[in-house]
Structure 1
Amino acid sequence: MNQYLLNGKLTAKPGHQEALAAILFQASKLVATAKGCRLYVIGKDKADSHSVYVTEIWDSKEDHDNSLKVEGVRELITQAMPLLDGPPAKGQELEIIGGTEI
């Protein structure tokens, strides 16, 4: 079974990038306990003051989907939605074929 990788970009309303990043950081702590979570990192581009990027690696897409059921995750999604400048774009879904581990 190949692992599942998701790259996502969320664009915040002006002035809300840090608040959005903080919510996603809280989410990272919750999903770190979920079955199959290998990586959940949040980043930002210095040249883009509105977006927050999330990269996730899971044992399977099913594990990723089930992470939305972790207690507290839905509440954080509800907090984040008003900070977004439009609906979140679908993330880039990739199947991992190899590489090195950190």
Structure 2
Amino acid sequence: MTKKYGLHGKLTATDGNKDALASILVKASKLVFTMKGCHVYFISEDKNDPAAVWVTEVWDSKEDHDNSLQVPGVRELITQAMPLLAEKPQKAQELDILGGALR
């Protein structure tokens, strides 16, 4: 398997806004997943933190990920999500994926 680029990051919503934040992120995932190089883009709840939403991504390259921010509609969704955040998003872990089960 060729090495892939991955990100795993946590976003914390303001009180009562986790579901709205997650919904926006799921919409964004549907747009971004159509991009060249995207293998995985999923949104998860955190069972230990009721305000937290995690985003996990796997790409062919960092360049492909960076280009995904230019998908029409993505910037608008980011703008909608920002007021729902309790804090700045935690810097995502950048991962060099060495192998495993991946389509």
TM-score range, shorter chain: over 0.9
TM-score by length of 2: 0.94
Letter in 1 for 2:86: D
**2:38 maps to 1:37:** yes
- Note the aligned Cα RMSD (angstroms): 1.1
Distance in 2, Cα, partners of 1:47 & 1:86:
18
Query: Which residue of structure 2 aligns with residue 4 of structure 1?
Result: 5
Cα distance per residue 1:37-94 (max 9 Å; x no partner): 1000000022311000010000000000000000000000000000001111110000
Distance in 2, Cα, partners of 1:36 & 1:25:
18
Task: After the TM superposition, list the runs of 4 or more consecutive aligned residues in structure 1 that deviate by more than 3 angstroms.
Answer: none
Structure 2: runs of 5 or more not aligned: none
**2:95 maps to 1:94:** yes
Structure 1: runs of 5 or more not aligned: none
**Aligned residues of 2:3 and 2:99 also touching (Cα < 8 A):** no
Query: Which residue of structure 1 aligns with residue 82 of structure 2?
Result: 81
Letter in 2 for 1:12: A
Q: Figure out how many residues of one structure are paired with residues of the other and give that number.
A: 102
Matches within 5 A, 1:14-93: 14-93=15-94
Distance in 2, Cα, partners of 1:34 & 1:61:
13
Distance in 1, Cα, partners of 2:39 & 2:102:
10
Distance in 1, Cα, partners of 2:93 & 2:48:
21
Cα distance per residue 1:5-64 (max 9 Å; x no partner): 100100000110000000000001000111101000000022311000010000000000
Distance in 1, Cα, partners of 2:48 & 2:88:
22
